[in-house]
């Protein structure tokens, strides 16, 4: 036996058997010497009186227990970074993950999930409530989370996972369980289908106290974590590949202009979703409900998801975005093109609307001029002057707004060309 730093250690056959209560302390000491003081494993083994293999195991244990966290910061681009340009367009905080080319979609997902896991761990503190929307991407994130010692954390499921062929519990339960273990948290499942068969059934279920309790917690979490589902992603989104929607429903959604989903709420390219029939039956929070949560972390991998992600960003559902570089570039290109077309549509639409409105008013005024006496004509004339003035001001404002949109888009495109 030997005594070191006031602790009793037992040595049997040159191998140190450490009391469980001191294992983390020894792992921390080894990590401090290695990562902070940058001592060699040989020097650490001599200092701690253990073998090099034991030092290696202690360092591995320090990482597994969350005592050591390694953060990588990608180098900035020469000019304005892709992340800042994308963030400026949508008003969100963006983390772009560089992925070497060529890379498989699974490797791309792995890299993004690793960075997202670290980002989420940084945001979780004592008593934090975290809402999780299941999906292929979030499943990958849950397997790459960084453990963190925090107290009284709650993990709650945001959307139901059952469908006509499965309860969804093994799939969603594994994701929730992974998050729960990382933070030693209480886990609250949401035991309802992803989509009800009838909107009336959902309305009735929302009145049930047991269901309403979980739903209310989910709508009031501190952090929401979700991905984006897409019809076109090479790594199939679980909501489309897991039997949640029939072929007929998918075909109808495509016909309705749906490009993807967020938290199993289907969404069009322009960010609209309210009048889509299936959304009357979904159990996930809408973009409007998500917008009430202070921190909404969206994780996306792969350029094929760019149209769906752009739609979700237009809906205002995201505050923090983690994605790979190819997807970021694809979303930026889509949004610049969208805004350029939107500016032109605004310009043409306002002119057509103003012309039609003016013609209608002129016809009405002529009728009144013919029907009223001289004093009535004065009143009508005054109204006509006021109308012309208001119309002119409105046209000027619309023209200035459209010109501003086009100018900002042109500036962003010029910056992108300079960047490339």
Q: In terms of domains, do 339 and 314 share one?
A: no
Q: In terms of domains, do 258 and 351 share one?
A: no
HSE at residue 152, side-chain half, CA atoms within 13 A, is: 2
Q: Is residue 118 part of a domain?
A: yes
Predicted pLDDT of residue 385: 75
Predicted pLDDT of residue 12: 33
Instruction: Pick the last residue of a domain from 318, 343, 367.
Output: 318
Global model pTM greater than 0.85: no
Q: In terms of domains, do 54 and 123 share one?
A: no
Predicted pLDDT of residue 6: 36
Residues spanned by the domain of 193: 99-318
* Buried b / exposed e along 179-218 (16+ C-beta atoms within 10 A): bbebbebebbbbbbbbbbeeeeebeebeeeeebeebbebb
Q: In terms of domains, do 254 and 180 share one?
A: yes
- Residue owning tokens 């490797």: 107
DSSP three-state, residue 343: helix
- Contact indicator for 279, 265 with CB cutoff of 8 Å: yes
Domains in the chain, number:
3
Give the Cα separation of 100 and 318 in Å (integer).
26
Displacement of CA 393 from its chain's centroid (Å): 40
**Length reported for the chain:** 420
CATH number at residue 228: 3.40.50.1360
Predicted pLDDT of residue 407: 58
Q: Beta partners for 8?
A: 3
For 158, list phi and psi in degrees, rounded to 5.
-85, -30
Q: Is residue 75 part of a domain?
A: no
DSSP three-state, residue 196: coil
Q: Is residue 203 part of a domain?
A: yes
Q: In terms of domains, do 35 and 178 share one?
A: no
Give the Cα separation of 98 and 116 in Å (integer).
13
Predicted pLDDT of residue 114: 93
Instruction: Pick the last residue of a domain from 267, 293, 318.
Output: 318
Q: In terms of domains, do 165 and 304 share one?
A: yes
| Residue 325 CA: distances (Å) to CA of 100, 298, 334, 364, 414 | 10, 15, 14, 57, 19
Instruction: Pick the last residue of a domain from 13, 37, 64.
Output: 64
Predicted pLDDT of residue 370: 64
Mean pLDDT per 10-residue interval, the chain, length 420 residues: 37 42 77 84 88 87 78 52 89 91 87 94 95 94 90 96 87 94 95 94 95 95 96 74 83 89 94 94 96 97 94 96 94 86 54 62 65 67 75 66 56 52
Q: Is residue 93 part of a domain?
A: no
Which residue, 8, 52, 6, 19, is CA-closest to 33? 52
- Contact indicator for 231, 259 with CB cutoff of 8 Å: yes
For 40, list phi and psi in degrees, rounded to 5.
-75, 160
Q: What is the pLDDT of residues 190-232, one digit of tens each?
A: 999 999 999 999 999 999 999 999 999 999 999 999 999 987 7
Q: What is the pLDDT of residues 10-27, one digit of tens each?
A: 333 334 444 544 677 888
- Contact indicator for 243, 250 with CB cutoff of 8 Å: no
Q: In terms of domains, do 112 and 209 share one?
A: yes
- Contact indicator for 226, 135 with CB cutoff of 8 Å: yes
DSSP three-state, residue 303: helix
Q: In terms of domains, do 192 and 277 share one?
A: yes
């Amino acid at each position: 036996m030997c005594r070191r730093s006031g602790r009793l250690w037992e040595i049997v056959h040159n191998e140190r058997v450490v009391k469980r209560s001191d294992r983390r302390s020894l792992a921390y000491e080894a990590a401090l010497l290695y990562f902070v003081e940058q001592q060699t494993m040989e020097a650490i083994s001599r200092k701690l009186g253990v073998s090099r293999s034991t030092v290696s195991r202690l360092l591995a244990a320090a990482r597994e227990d969350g005592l050591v966290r390694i953060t990588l910061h990608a180098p900035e681009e020469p000019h304005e970074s892709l992340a800042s340009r994308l963030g400026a367009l949508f008003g969100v905080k963006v983390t772009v993950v560089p992925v070497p080319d060529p890379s498989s979609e699974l490797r791309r997902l792995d890299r993004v999930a690793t960075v997202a896991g670290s980002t989420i761990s940084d945001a979780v503190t004592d008593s934090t409530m975290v809402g999780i929307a299941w999906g292929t991407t979030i499943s990958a994130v849950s397997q790459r989370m960084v453990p963190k010692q925090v107290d009284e954390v709650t993990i709650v499921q945001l959307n139901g996972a059952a469908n006509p062929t499965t309860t969804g519990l093994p799939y969603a339960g594994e994701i929730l369980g992974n998050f729960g273990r990382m933070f030693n948290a209480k886990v609250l499942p949401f035991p309802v289908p992803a989509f009800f068969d009838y909107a009336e059934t959902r309305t009735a279920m929302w009145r049930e106290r047991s269901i309403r309790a979980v739903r209310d917690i989910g709508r009031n979490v501190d952090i929401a974590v979700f991905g984006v589902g897409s019809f076109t992603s090479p790594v199939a989104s679980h909501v489309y590949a897991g039997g949640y929607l029939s072929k007929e429903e998918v075909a109808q959604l495509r016909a309705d202009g749906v490009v993807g989903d967020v938290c199993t709420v289907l969404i069009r390219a322009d960010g609209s979703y309210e009048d889509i029939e299936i959304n009357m039956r979904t159990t996930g929070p809408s973009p409007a409900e998500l917008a009430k949560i202070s921190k909404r972390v969206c994780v996306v991998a792969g350029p094929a998801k760019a149209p769906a992600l752009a739609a979700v960003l237009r809906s205002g559902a995201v505050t923090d975005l983690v994605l790979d570089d190819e997807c970021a570039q694809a979303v930026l290109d889509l949004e610049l093109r969208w805004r350029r077309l939107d500016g032109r549509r605004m310009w043409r639409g306002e002119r057509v609307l103003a012309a039609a409105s003016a013609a209608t008013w002129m016809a009405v005024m002529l009728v009144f001029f013919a029907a009223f006496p001289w004093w009535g004509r004065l009143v009508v004339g005054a109204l006509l002057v006021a109308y012309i003035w208001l119309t002119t001001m409105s046209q000027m404002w619309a023209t200035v707004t459209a010109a501003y949109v086009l100018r900002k888009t042109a500036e962003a495109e010029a910056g992108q060309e300079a960047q490339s």
